[in-house]
Chain A
Amino acid sequence: MKKITLSLIIFVILGCSSQESLDVESANKQGILLLDNGTEPQGLDPHIVTGVTEHKIIIALFEGLTMQNPQGEGVIPGAAESWTISDNGKELLFRIRDDAVWSNGDPLTAEDFVYSWRRILTPALGSKYPDMLYAVKNAEEYNKGLIKNFDQVGVEAIDEKVLKVTLRTKTPFFLKQLAHYATFPVHPNTIEKFGGISNRDSQWTRPANMISNGPFTLTEWSINKVIKVTKNERYWDSDNLKLNGIHFLPIDNESTADRYYRSGKTHNLNIIQTEKISKYQNEFPNEFKLEKYFGTYYYRINTDIAPLNNIKVRKALSLAIDRDVIVDRVTKGGQKPAYSFTPPSKNYYDPPTSLPHDPALARKLLAEAGFPNGNGFPEFELLYNTNEGHQKIAQAIQQFWLKELGIKVTLTNVDWKVYLDRQSQGEFEITRAGWIGDYVDPNSFLDMMVTDRGNNMTGWSNAQYDDYLIKAAFSESEKDRINYFTEAEKILMDELPIIPIYTYTRVYMLREEVKGWFPNMLDTHPYQFISLED
């Protein structure tokens, strides 16, 4: 009996022990935002990491020349208070704010940007985002080791606070790229102190070491527990900052995150479990958010192999898919059926493409391609990385193709790295894919499909398409530019090396006391604008 009692006691202790953490009520009083941030970030070095989780923390710690406008698709001044652009669009002069300083009090200088850009372009650093600066003259050449002298790269400090940037050609989205963390400044002395410009495994991002220039400074980083940042009193606009701090909580389990949110331990719920979406939408309409996101879920076709090299076959495959059924009955997360590769937006780019659901036409095209009723069509493989969501979509599409076209497809799921490896080696017939744009411009999607681009991976090449993208880059007016992109998009949706399925949405919960959090396509919410109502 004693043992039973003892075991009961132990279980009670086990059951009751739980960490004490801040709840939203006291956080509201202290002005601290409690964010469910998905997973543990890879790191906090803006020139090394890639990813949304990292982005959300880095924009609290650092600030680039421009900043994403939270209420629109453009940018607003960040560390630069103003800029001028030459008539040919190639030369930009940035005026850095006089009161912009680092968290240790050092002034933020034009030279700091030159150093930082040299760092991300240094081949030995192995950054995965150097192309965010490839618009700068000779940046790509320097990054690829073709030129060794950084003086030849189009960035120089005119004086302490004026930065001159020379572009390869006029690049209308360059200012948007400057709001991306890859182009953010780092503190040169700190980088040098902790291993130098090309050290990837530097300790400079640790709380004790980090010097940053953003609205917040790093105060604590406990792996898989919390990252805490505190208001930077030296930030140029600190008087207008309403938050005193942010706790980023890495909660990678959707059910745990849900529990955190419901029990008042976070201000947001980053991802709502699919089965709870409609319930939350009805029960908490003021907290429930469903917003468009700048991303497309699509299928990538290997156009190097027969019969997928036949446009008619690819069209038939697309025509047989009922996208409405997929978003309404399969994904059920408020996604929108995609009819173009670039997610459309009424404000800036709305390509007139359509991808209808027309099984009769699909059968006709397939017959024209030599496979009436799918007869003689080789059985092929649909590849995706192991994930329940991808599997459900693949099963639905497998059914469409079998039912409407008589084409048999085997579904193959492999782990993430095998999937990536097979895609890059071209060892696939059709794979699922997804892409989130880094900046809101058609270029961040359409450039991918230019001949031999690393992320093209379909083997597809179209000279006219490539030409439209070059023309877009060199076009004089914004209207012409958008027209070229539209023409390119039409070619893409006509030849279909990729089959768009749906446009991503962000479906999440946000407590009502969080103010200044605006919907936008990049899901970027600068903390400078956010406040907590008590």
Chain B
Amino acid sequence: MLVVISATFFMVHAAPGGPFDDDRVASPEIIKQLNETYNLNDPLISQLGNYLLNALQGDFGPSYKYPGRTVSELIASGLPITAELAFYSVLFALLLGILSGIIASLNPGKFLDHFPMSVSMIGICVPSIILGPILILIFGIWLEILPVSGWGEFSGDKILPTITLGSAYAAIFARLTRGGMLEILAQDFIRTARAKGLNETRVVFFHALRGGIMPTIGFLGPAIAGLFAGSFVVETIFQINGIGRYYVQAAFNRDYTLILGISVLITFFTLTFVLLSDILATYLNPRLREKGSIN
């Protein structure tokens, strides 16, 4: 985390232009004064030291772009929106991904395998920065059935961002589920279950899925962390005021403290979710659990 903060810190300061440059050029005296007020005239290393010291105490400093607002306050206003977007996206990705993964695994080599898997390959390959505008073009401009910007302001404005952000992960989940399911479906206990005459739905959803879903669960943590990072693009395309958009704007505004604050948050999320998903995977998978207890 320290590495991320330091790297970000030096990068933002290396970018040309400063937080107080404006269309209406202020006199050099004023700029000097502003830099002094925010200690921007100090050597970078001591600025970094101060920042870390304050950050440890939970103080991420004032925003340069919005005087009177703290970075924490701005993050607090944007985070619920980003979290909601990420939540819906992961839900969308799970539902679509797992379902098509199951369908594919039950029809290996057939059309119902190739079709969802080809679509998911496209899903993985097409980045949201392209998918978003395509969806806007189709549903917003040609068909005019869905709003193309905002969040929670007009009916249906949450649909396109959710699909855009969730698609790539739906595709990955689909492939992971398919792989996991194929492995499980070939195992003896499934054959036993089928031999005992259980109906296929029961076999698939109650016996096979529990194991088949494991790779997906394992990937859930990195996926959620990735969704937060992916929100930068999606929030910018759909002009949603979450932390992703703040981050992009802060970068353009050279709002150093806000950039750093959000970087810290995203790093923290990434580490936490990866850890959580490892723990969850261990808990769900008896094989991993036993290994753990032997050690």
Contact = CB atoms under 8 A, between A and B. Distances in A.
Interface string B135-169: 00000000000011110111111110010000000
Interface string B249-289: 00011100000000000000000000000000000000000
B140 to A, nearest CB: 8
Interface stretch (A403-411, A417-425, A488-496): A417-425
Contact of B147 (A143, A205, A256): A256
Given A7-B96, A18-B154, A124-B33, A201 B67 contact: yes
Contact of B95 (A6, A16, A144, A454): A6
B192 interface: no
A382 to B, nearest CB: 18
B68 A7 contact: no
A418 B16 contact: yes
Contact of A43 (B66, B78, B239): B66
A420 B37 contact: no
Nearest to A419: B17
Interface in A340-358: none
A259 B147 contact: yes
B152 A17 contact: yes
Contacts of A524: none
Interface centre among A127, A203, A223 (most CB of B within 10 A): A223
B44 interface: no
Contacts of A206: 68
A282 interface: no
A408 B92 CA distance: 52
Interface in A216-236: 222-224
A152 interface: no
A255 interface: yes
B210 interface: no
Interface in B1-45: 15-18, 20-27, 29-30, 33-34, 37
Given A4-B99, A123-B33, A420-B17, A253 B155 contact: no
A418 B251 CA distance: 12
Contacts of A43: 66-69
B142 to A, nearest CB: 15
Contacts of B20: 126
Given A15-B159, A224-B241, A255-B149, A126 B34 contact: yes
A45 B66 CA distance: 11
A457 B23 CA distance: 12
A418 B21 CA distance: 10
A416 interface: yes
Contacts of B239: 252-253, 256
Interface centre among B23, B70, B156, B158 (most CB of A within 10 A): B23
A11 B25 contact: no
B279 to A, nearest CB: 26
Contacts of B219: none
Interface centre among B33, B98, B252 (most CB of A within 10 A): B33
Contacts of A124: 33, 37
Contacts of B73: 223
A195 to B, nearest CB: 10
Provide the main secondary structure of the chain B interface: loop
Interface in A393-448: 415-418, 420-422, 424, 434
A11 B155 CA distance: 11
B67 A48 contact: yes
Interface string B47-82: 000000000000000100111111001100110000
Given A252-B239, A418-B17, A424 B25 contact: yes
B262 to A, nearest CB: 15
Given A14-B158, A126-B37, A417-B253, A203 B68 contact: yes
Given A15-B156, A223-B74, A418-B16, A45 B67 contact: yes
Contacts of A14: 88, 156, 158-159, 162
Contacts of A128: 22, 24, 26, 30
A265 to B, nearest CB: 9
B67 A256 contact: no
A145 interface: yes
B112 interface: no
Given A128-B22, A256-B149, A256-B150, A417 B254 contact: yes
B91 interface: yes
Contact of B67 (A15, A18, A42, A252): A42
A391 interface: no
Contact of A454 (B26, B78, B252): B26
Contacts of A189: none
Contact of B155 (A16, A40, A203, A418): A16
Contacts of A17: 152, 155, 158
Interface string A34-70: 0000001011010011100000000000000000000
Given A15-B155, A45-B67, A256-B153, 15 more contacts: A15-B159, A42-B67, A123-B33, A126-B30, A126-B34, A206-B68, A222-B77, A224-B78, A252-B239, A259-B147, A416-B17, A418-B15, A420-B17, A420-B21, A454-B27
Question: Which 6 residue pairs are nearest across A and B when measured between Cβ atoms?
Answer: A417-B17, A421-B17, A454-B25, A126-B34, A224-B241, A253-B239
